[in-house]
Amino acid sequence: MEQEDISNYTKVCVTGGSGYIGSWLVKKLLQKGYTVHATLRNLDEKPKVELLRSLPNADTRLVLFQADIYNPTEFEPAIRSSNTSEAAIASARIIANSCVRSQTVKWLIYTASVMSSSPLKEDGSGYKPSFNESSWTSLNLSYTLSNDVFLAYIKSKTLAEKEVSSYNEIEYSKLEVVSLACALAISHTMPA
């Protein structure tokens, strides 16, 4: 049986569409024939908008939306606390909840960080026998050569990914969350 090409009628939303990874995702999705809804923090940033609009098929398959994840009216509790972890968790939750409420989004691809996963045991006494999606970085350990900023980064990335991954466990939700844990993104820059 021939597999049906769903790209011709599938819409994909890419948050952070003007970022390094986001812009490459937009480009690849457009090349594959998908309709892409991309969010940018500010549609008045002409270089970012022009870069995305210059991509092949953007004229017919790209829709840009202004969506600032740090909009104080939407994220007031997290921002008021000035807590990086709370802001990261709130951002992940708002995006996932929007996907669930839409009742049309089937997959949420979450661009995560390898900092949220670790083969170390919770107490740091050795390594876990296997390494999989449940191998979270322990937030109770201190790490050699780390500082408060580094530890806050690890905490925010780990807690945000745990939050968004928890949507896989919600029975009534038809949303499947997949984490793409990026360690280092190296490539040539996208031509303007």
Which amino acids are annotated catalytic?
A: 157
Q: Which H or E run includes 184?
A: none
Cα-based distances in Å from 170 to 38, 51, 96: 26, 38, 12
Q: Which of 159, 15, 161 is nearest to 98 (CA)?
A: 15
**Cα–chain-centroid distance for residue 137?**
18
Residues 6 or more apart whose CB falls under 8 angstroms from that of 177 comprise: 96, 107, 108, 110, 164, 165, 167, 168
**Spatial contact of 62 and 52, defined as CB atoms under 8 Å apart:** yes
Q: Residue 24, Cβ neighbours under 10 Å: how many?
A: 15
> Which DSSP string do the residues of 45-57 spell out, in sequence order?
-HHHHHHHHTSTT
- The span from the CA of 39 to the CA of 23, in Å, is 10
